[in-house]
Amino acid sequence: MTRPLRQVLAEAQSVPLEIGWLPETKATAPALPPEEPPAVVPRGSGVALDLKGVGKSFGDKRVLGGVDLQVRPGDFLVVVGKSGCGKSTLLRLLVGLDRPTEGEIAIGPGRDGGKANARIVFQEPRLLPWASVLDNVAVGLPASLSSEAAWKAAETVLADVHLQGRADDWPSVLSGGQRQRVALARALVSHPDLLVLDEPLGALDALTRITMQSLIERVWHAQGFTAVLVTHDVAEAVALGDRVVVIDEGRIVLDLAIDLPRPRERGSAALAALEGKLLDAIFGVAEVVY
């Protein structure tokens, strides 16, 4: 089952990497124009996603069915839904960890017409406890890269997630948020075309989560990859997404475009109204008891 993905990655990784590609991020995020392409030309091109009638069954249990979804290159898609509705299953299909039992998924093409380089960040950081922070980040690089080039690339991306100076630490001495930033750096270092995040901030406290959200938004804006984020948090969904889809019992029940300028003002009336819409779709208006 995992074979196709390994092939995808192996091919994607044979593309020569450019090192030191990320522009310096400023402490205060600049106001981002909503539709215009970013000022810095992203070196990782986003890929388009095209899902047609995609479904997945485990035995005779249909977990996902009839999912039609088109995502433009460089878009930020957020997926929300109740626990067990099939969000992780959808992500696993997207990165090729599993194959759909119905329908078709087209991703790409990636840079130079090659296969797309897809990376995933999980809810848990999944760092190697016996490798330093720097070596953990280097896991995201192709094995063919010389160790000096790998260290340089890893150091650059560590600075992007504000972990410069922690390169030689063991993961066990980092805080939860720092560990998740290392995991993010590991996914970013190979310069992905598609970044898939499965509740990456679910285990973090509310304040750390807000910091991490703007970090993710900033690297996404700087690099221009296509992002797919799964979250339980509707505030996070409306803060980050160009588009939010709600999944219920394996189907898309709402597809909501969000045309607000970035960075978005948390707690604004516009966002609150959108959050309400999402919650209604998730729980079904009829179910809500007043």
Partner 1 sequence: MARLRLSSLTPYALPAAVIAVWQAGSALGVISDRVLPAPTDVVAAGWRLALSGELLANAKSSTARALAGLVIGGGIGFGLGLLNGLSRAADRVTDTTVQMIRNVPHLALIPLVILWFGIGEEAKLFLVALGVFFPVYVNTVHGVRGVDGQLVEMGRIYGMSSWTLFRKVILPGALPSIFVGLRYALGIMWLTLIVAETISASSGLGYMAMQAREFMLVDVVVLSILIYALLGKLADVLARALERRSLAWHPAFQNH
Ligand X SMILES: Nc1ncnc2c1ncn2[C@@H]1O[C@H](COP(=O)(O)OP(=O)(O)OP(=O)(O)O)[C@@H](O)[C@H]1O
Binding site residues, ligand X, CB under 6 A: 58, 63, 81, 83-89
Q: Which two tokens stand for residue 125?
A: 């950081």
Beta carbon of residue 251, minimum distance to ligand X (angstroms, whole number): 12
Pick 79 or 219: Cβ nearer Mg ion? 79
Cα–Cα distances (Å) from 62 to 56, 59, 154, in that order, read 6, 8, 41
State the Cα–Cα distance between residues 94 and 73, nearest whole angstrom: 14
Site for partner 1 (CB under 8 A): which residue of 9, 107, 234, 235?
9
Among the residue ranges 4-12, 49-57, 239-247, 267-275, the one whose residues contact partner 1 (CB under 8 A):
4-12
Who's near 56: CB < 8 A, 6+ residues apart?
62, 63, 64, 65, 86, 89, 90, 93, 98, 100, 101, 102
Within 10 Å of residue 213's Cβ, how many Cβ atoms? 22
The interface partner of residue 130, options being ligand X, partner 1, Mg ion, none and the CB cut-off 5 to 8 Å by kind, is partner 1
Distance CA 222, CA 202 (A): 24
- 105: contact with partner 1 by CB under 8 A: no
Interface mask (CB under 8 A) for partner 1, residues 112-141, using x and -? --------x-x-x-x-xxxx-------xx-
Nearer to partner 1, 65 or 114 (CB): 114
Our finding on whether 206 is near partner 1 (CB under 8 A) is no
Q: Please list the alpha-helical segments (H only) found in the chain.
A: 3-13, 87-94, 133-138, 147-160, 176-188, 206-223, 234-240, 269-283
113 binds, among partner 1, ligand X, Mg ion, none (CB under 5 to 8 A by kind): none
Interaction site with Mg ion (CB under 5 A) = 88
Asked if 168 touches partner 1 (CB under 8 A), the answer is no
What minimum distance in Å lies between the beta carbon of 252 and Mg ion?
A: 16
Cis peptide before 42 (omega within 30 of 0): no
Residues 17, 240, 99, 185, Cα dihedral to 10°: 30
- Interface ranges with partner 1 (CB under 8 A): 2, 5-6, 9-10, 13, 95, 97, 120, 122, 124, 126, 128-131, 139-140, 142-143, 170, 172-173, 186
